Amino acid sequence: MDSENSGRRDWVAWHESYRDASSPHSIRLRIVQKEIRRVLPERPDKPFSIVSLCAGQGDDLIGALKGYPHADRIRARLVELDERNFAKLCEKARAARLDHFEMIRGDAADTKQYEGIVPADLVLLCGVFGNISNADIRHTISCLPQFCARGATTVWTRHRREPDMTPRVRKWFEQYGFVETGFFRPEGLLISVGTSRFEGQPQPLKPTKLFTFV
């Protein structure tokens, strides 16, 4: 989350929904984890880097790496502002023996947080697009060529409450050089998970603010 809106919701309590395996958030989490596992290299022969914006407690990435035999060869930077979530994030990373991951407590909307690790091979935007304006969604997607190596995968989430913005979000990814590789909308639920592969030309990272939580 961003610094201007950190007090508007209890983001630690938000994670409590994961305790119910049948909750929409838990179902969404399992889809995200499956998509992360799908793109992890079977036999890493070169560095593989991951960035996670608004990482929360890291359940998506840390959970996806459970049982993955090459986690020690993955470089990751997870950015989270909420103090209590950040503490949980660090605790879970240590428990999973992912101490080599970079956990940053800061504003995930500030591109300076990603200096030195982008362009990355996997970019996670989970729990972001449902909490920012439509204009900020498009702006963030337009900046993703600064985050992605050629062939990189993005994983994003967004609710489908009316007016459903996901068709426009998918078009914006296409507009900025991405090819959709998956879009998941479980029947009877208003959640969705999208994945795209970047086929454009990576761009240098520029200082900007990507979004503001609303």
Per-residue pLDDT of the chain (214 residues; tens, 9 = 90+): 443 444 467 766 656 666 778 899 999 999 999 999 999 999 888 889 999 999 999 999 999 999 999 999 999 999 999 999 999 999 999 999 999 999 999 999 999 999 999 999 999 999 999 999 999 999 999 999 999 999 999 999 999 999 999 999 999 999 999 999 999 999 999 999 999 999 999 999 999 999 999 8
Asked whether residue 174 is domain-assigned, the answer is yes
DSSP state of 213: B
Asked whether residue 103 is domain-assigned, the answer is yes
> Which pair of tokens denotes residue 213?
């939580």
User: What range defines the domain where residue 122 resides?
Assistant: 3-198
pLDDT of 43:
84
pLDDT of 78:
98
Angstrom distance (rounded) from CA 156 to CA 193: 6
What distance lies between CA 26 and its chain's CA centroid?
A: 16
Q: Please name the amino acid found at residue 211.
A: F
CA distances from 20 to 24, 25, 92, 159 (A): 9, 9, 19, 19
pTM of the model: 0.93
pLDDT of 110:
98
* Strand 102-105 versus strand 120-125 pairing type: unpaired
What strand order describes the sheet that includes 120-125? 102-105, 74-80, 48-53, 120-125, 148-157, 193-198, 178-184
CA distances from 185 to 24, 152, 176 (A): 11, 22, 23
* 3-class SS of residue 123: strand
Asked whether residue 18 is domain-assigned, the answer is yes
Asked whether residue 28 is domain-assigned, the answer is yes
Angstrom distance (rounded) from CA 119 to CA 205: 8
pLDDT of 5:
43
Whichever domain contains 88, its CATH number is: 3.40.50.150
* Strand 148-157 versus strand 120-125 pairing type: parallel
Asked whether residue 69 is domain-assigned, the answer is yes
Q: Extract the runs of DSSP E, i.e. beta strands, from 54-168.
A: 74-80, 102-105, 120-125, 148-157
pLDDT of 1:
41
DSSP state of 111: G
Asked whether residue 134 is domain-assigned, the answer is yes
Asked whether residue 214 is domain-assigned, the answer is no
pLDDT of 153:
98
Check: CB of residue 49 under 8 Å from CB of residue 117: yes
> Which pair of tokens denotes residue 200?
């454009």
Residue with tokens 């998918």: 170
- How many domains does the chain fold into? 1
Residue with tokens 């479980």: 186
